[in-house]
Structure 1
Amino acid sequence: MSTIHEFSAERLTGGMQSLGDYAGKVLLIVNTASKCGFTPQYEGLEALYQRYRERGLVVLGFPCNQFGAQEPGEAEEIASFCQKNYGVSFPMFARIEVNGDGAHPLYQYLKRAAPGLLGSEGIKWNFTKFLVNREGEVTQRYAPATAPDAIAGDIEELL
């Protein structure tokens, strides 16, 4: 596959979503968790979404339970937690795996398109972020510790 627009994923609320529906948008794709030290980043991700969505940014959240079992809840629990605690309004998807044999095809693609430090492909922890341009090409990968507001300049360049 040549762009992320060729993938689909299940929404947290059910039903499949083609990422092709986001063609022409700048995307920030993040693997998330509700019980992680980085969980407060939901606030910063929502702030980015609110700040730039009118200009074409969409944040896409992908819950993952592969790191310290920090996303154990079912879809309704995850949705409730995100809304109640952080007012998340950006699209959230069903829980997926990002590493290993069961890794979602989207994440297999993201990891190849933007390897991490020293060329490693594996996702190291929750809240790894991928920035995707309007053409569906991955332009940047950010470590979990990178605060969402630190990405604002890179987002503005793509908008």
Structure 2
Amino acid sequence: MVHYPEINALVEKYQQYGLVVLGFPCNNFGLQEPGADASEILNGLKFVRPGNGFEPKFRLTQKIDVNGDKEHPIYTYLKRNCESPKDMFYNSTDLFYSPLRSRDIRWNFESFLISKDGYPIYRYSDDTLPLNLKSTIEALLKL
């Protein structure tokens, strides 16, 4: 799982310039976030995936829904301002929410870049590796 270490690398490089990363644990996709609370989620990261003592250098929120009838308002806002980067859904038997909507988050690690004033600027698919965002982050931070 390369996303977590790459997110930490971005935080280490750009936090001093104002980059803030928030992680929103979610169980909507393949039930991949079974942790019931912050302690269980952090232990899962540290000892299971990615494991090897990993500790996030970014803020994690409580577990939320990012899609469906129970979606958190932050995701309603983000998705309203940025269309989905993918047209197709993954296998719907691995999606644990309803209803399905065209702007839904398609899978874990889909990400948004948000301006300093809180406006969503870019939305990236789950297969975009965090380090591939460096040039865009640098442009937004005016580095």
Q: How many percent of aligned residue pairs carry the same amino acid?
A: 42
Whole-angstrom CA distance in 1 between matches of 2:42 and 2:113: 23
TM-score normalised by the chain length of structure 1: 0.72
Over 3 Å counting, the alpha-carbon distance change for 1:150 and 1:118 in structure 2 is closer
Gaps of 5+ in 1: 1-38
1:41, 1:147 within 8 Å by CA — same for their partners in 2? yes
Over 3 Å counting, the alpha-carbon distance change for 1:77 and 1:42 in structure 2 is same
Q: Which amino acid aligns with 1:81?
A: G
2:83, 2:103 within 8 Å by CA — same for their partners in 1? yes
TM-score normalised by the chain length of structure 2: 0.79
1:83, 1:89 within 8 Å by CA — same for their partners in 2? no
Structure 2 counterpart SS, 1:127: coil
Q: Radius of gyration: which is bigger?
A: 2
Aligned structure 1 segments of 4 or more residues deviating by more than 6 angstroms: none
Q: 1:46 and 2:8 equivalent? A: yes
Q: 1:70 and 2:32 equivalent? A: yes
- The higher-RCO structure (CA 8 Å, 6+ apart) is 1
Aligned length: 121
Q: 1:109 and 2:109 equivalent? A: no
Once the two structures are superposed, the pairs formed by residues 10-159 of structure 1 within 5 Å of their partners are 39-75=1-37, 76-83=39-46, 85-117=53-85, 120-159=102-141
Whole-angstrom CA distance in 2 between matches of 1:111 and 1:128: 11
Q: Which amino acid aligns with 1:110?
A: L
Structure 1 counterpart SS, 2:20: strand
Over 3 Å counting, the alpha-carbon distance change for 1:142 and 1:148 in structure 2 is same
Structure 2 counterpart SS, 1:117: coil
1:64, 1:71 within 8 Å by CA — same for their partners in 2? yes
How far apart are 1:77 and its partner, in Å? 1.1
Whole-angstrom CA distance in 1 between matches of 2:20 and 2:108: 19
